[in-house]
Amino acid sequence: MASDIIESTKERMNKTITVLKTELGGLRAGRANPQVLDRILVDYYGTPTPIQQLGNISTPEPRMLLIAVWDSKAIPAVEKAIQKSDLGINPSNDGKVIRLMFPELNEERRKDLVKVVKKYGEESKIAIRAIRRDANEQIKKDEKDKVITEDDRKSLDDKVQKLTDEQIKEIEAVLAAKEKEILSV
């Protein structure tokens, strides 16, 4: 019973970090990263479809993405979806492939992106702390219901706190790496 609490807490915290990494992957940091297209859905014959399912995405140059769409009739729909997205990039095509040129980020935009990264990090830390609170409440409930002893509760509280500290350090490391990526010219 007690190990179930620790396992489910660890699993929920790991999911939070996975979500953070996905969110940060979607931020463009000056160099072309195919992950920025992950959230974009194309209206493909009436069905919202991820760009990855419509063609190959490659990075021939550091600041360029190349999308080779398998169905050439879908190229206008893919371009339209990219233009409607929050990327702020104008796609160009030659009838066979779509090119996305990522402009160099200026200093002000880099600082804005760092603020966004910190906001995502803070949201993740809040989520981790909420998970810790849920686990501690479950542990207290189990002690009250006489499922575990007071010594077990103290031991479990320590394990949950240690797990929380580890996950917060992981978030800090992920944020530091993303900030370095954004600020490197």
Q: Give me the pLDDT at residue 2, please.
A: 67
For residue 28, what pLDDT is reported?
62
Q: What share of the chain is helix, strand, coil (3-state, %, to 5)?
A: 65, 15, 20
* Domain identity same for 147 and 92: no
Angle at which helices 150-183 and 107-144 cross, to 10°: 170
Q: How far is CA 136 from CA 7, 51, 150, 151, in A?
A: 13, 42, 13, 14
My answer on whether 177 and 113 are in the same domain is yes
**Sign of CA pseudo-dihedral 36, 37, 39, 40:** positive
Same domain, 38 and 69: yes
| 115 and 177 share one domain | yes
pLDDT tens digits for range 114-154? 888 899 899 999 999 999 999 999 988 888 888 888 888 88
CB atoms within 10 A of CB 12: 17
162 CB neighbour count, 10 Å cutoff = 11
Is the domain of 178 the same as that of 164?
Answer: yes
**CATH number of the domain that residue 43 is part of:** 3.30.1360.40
Final residue of a domain: which of 49, 81, 101? Answer: 101
- Residue identified by tokens 């995405």 is 57
Look over the chain and give the mean of its residue pLDDT values, rounded to a whole number.
85
**Does the structure show a pLDDT above 90 at 48?**
no
Q: Is 167 exposed, middle or buried (0-12, 13-18, 19+ CB in 10 A)?
A: buried
At residue 24, does pLDDT exceed 90? Answer: no
134 and 174 share a domain?
A: yes
Residue 54: the pLDDT is: 85
In this prediction, residue 3 carries a pLDDT of 73
CATH value at residue 112 = 1.10.132.20
Q: What is the pLDDT of residues 144-177, one digit of tens each?
A: 888 888 888 888 899 999 999 999 999 999 899 8
- Domain C-terminal end among 81, 101, 121: 101
What is the predicted pLDDT for the residue at 29?
63
Angstrom CA distances, 148 to 40, 63, 158, 176, stand at 48, 57, 15, 40
pLDDT for the residue numbered 45: 86
Based on the domain organization, do 49 and 11 belong to the same domain? no
Residue found by looking up tokens 């966004």 in the block: 116
Handedness of CA 117, 118, 121, 123 (dihedral sign): negative
Question: 73, 101, 129: which is the final residue of a domain?
Answer: 101
Based on the domain organization, do 119 and 91 belong to the same domain?
no
Top-confidence residue, 48 or 33 = 48
Which domain, by its residues, includes 90? 34-101
13 shares its domain with 46: no
Q: Please name the residues in contact with 60: beta carbons below 8 A apart, sequence gap of 6 or more.
A: 66
Instruction: Tell me the per-residue pLDDT of 80-109, one tens digit each, with 9 for 90 and over.
Output: 888 887 677 788 888 888 888 877 777 887
Total domain count, the chain: 2
Residues 120 and 141 in one domain: yes
61, pLDDT greater than 90: no
Q: Does 110 share its domain with 91?
A: no
